Amino acid sequence: MRTADIRDGWHGNAQQPFAVANLVSCRAHHHQPFQRHVSAATSGATWPWQLQDGSPSSLGPMALLGDLLLQKLRRSMVNPDRNPLKDLVEIDETEMPFRSRHDPEDRPKGGRSPVGKMFVVCAVELSSDGHPRRIRMKHIPDGASKTLHGFIGQAVEPSAHIITDGWLGYENPPANTHEAKVVSGKKAHDILHWVHRVFSNLKTWAKGVFHGLRKCHLQRYLDEFVFRWNRRRHMRSAFDTLLGIGVGLGPATYRDFVEQRA
């Protein structure tokens, strides 16, 4: 059989059916049965809006259904019953610029100003020989003591020993022993090696795959990164885990994701 005779999985010179050909290119008419069902499922005030920034979508209902499925999968990447980190835990926070239509022209560089930045805190569980095991990440509004202590209480076992830099917000955690390694004359990644390795991988992934992240859905991307990292050595069972978590979650509509209700 000649290569020229193979067209979209059809043998010989048979043409692709009109409805399928147009549906693939998002141009199917509403009298086509499958397209009519897709339109009904995505009709109303929910489907013409993108999850990223609320801008009108020109991609069509099929792309929006793909967005909805993706968000449902990301929601399933957080196990409600997961165990907190234990033993030895490195914790630090970082900043990331966020994508916006109206980026400030006078965005300050460095420091802890929130203008044009997103703050992320990360905890890395270490084994007895100093190798990374599980991680937790969270989008935080600031580096205040109340914020950081709240993250530690959620992500780390009370008996775990935590290691941080010299930032005052980490001092006197309510339920953990604490060791502060003051960064003075040394680079931060030399003091807290693994947490900064995680930050480096996160930023490379965010900028390389997504070309930057939007602030309103940052936590969803962090959840995906954490899921991938924690199962990096168990790729075969990761999808089964994802489906198992998703089955136990309640239903959510597209509008629930857009308005941060799910």
How deeply is 237 buried, as exposed, middle or buried, from its count of CB atoms within 10 A (0-12, 13-18, 19+)? exposed
Q: How far lies 231's CA from each of 51, 77, 238, 239, in Å? A: 26, 11, 6, 10
User: Domain count of the chain?
Assistant: 1
End-to-end CA distance of the chain: 51
Q: What share of the chain is helix, strand, coil (3-state, %, to 5)?
A: 40, 15, 45
- The answer to whether 35 touches 29, Cβ cutoff 8 Å, is yes
Looking at the domain assignment, is residue 78 inside a domain? Answer: no
- Residues ≥6 apart with Cβ < 8 Å to 161: 87, 88, 89, 176, 177, 178, 179
Q: What is the pLDDT of residue 194?
A: 93
Q: What is the CA radius of gyration of the chain?
A: 23
Spatial distance between the Cα atoms of 189 and 191, rounded to a whole number of angstroms? 5
Looking at the domain assignment, is residue 77 inside a domain? Answer: no
Grouping H, G, I as helix, E, B as strand and the rest as coil, residue 215 is helix
How deeply is 88 buried, as exposed, middle or buried, from its count of CB atoms within 10 A (0-12, 13-18, 19+)? middle
Spatial distance between the Cα atoms of 262 and 220, rounded to a whole number of angstroms? 11
Looking at the domain assignment, is residue 34 inside a domain? Answer: no
Looking at the domain assignment, is residue 42 inside a domain? Answer: no
Spatial distance between the Cα atoms of 230 and 208, rounded to a whole number of angstroms? 20
Looking at the domain assignment, is residue 233 inside a domain? Answer: yes
Q: What is the pLDDT of residue 37?
A: 42
DSSP E strands: which ranges in 109-191? 117-126, 132-140, 161-164, 177-180
Looking at the domain assignment, is residue 162 inside a domain? Answer: yes
Spatial distance between the Cα atoms of 62 and 73, rounded to a whole number of angstroms? 17
- The answer to whether 197 touches 188, Cβ cutoff 8 Å, is no
**Containing structural domain, residue 227:** 83-99+116-247
Lookup: tokens for 17 = 């059916």
The CATH number of whichever domain residue 142 belongs to comes to 3.30.420.10
Q: Count of alpha carbons within 13 Å of 25, Cβ hemisphere only?
A: 8
Low-confidence ranges of the chain (pLDDT < 50): 1-58
Question: pTM for the full model?
Answer: 0.70
Looking at the domain assignment, is residue 184 inside a domain? Answer: yes
Q: What is the pLDDT of residue 7?
A: 37
Looking at the domain assignment, is residue 92 inside a domain? Answer: yes
Spatial distance between the Cα atoms of 231 and 243, rounded to a whole number of angstroms? 14
Partners of residue 135 on adjacent β-strands: 124
- The answer to whether 94 touches 199, Cβ cutoff 8 Å, is yes
Lookup: tokens for 125 = 């569980």
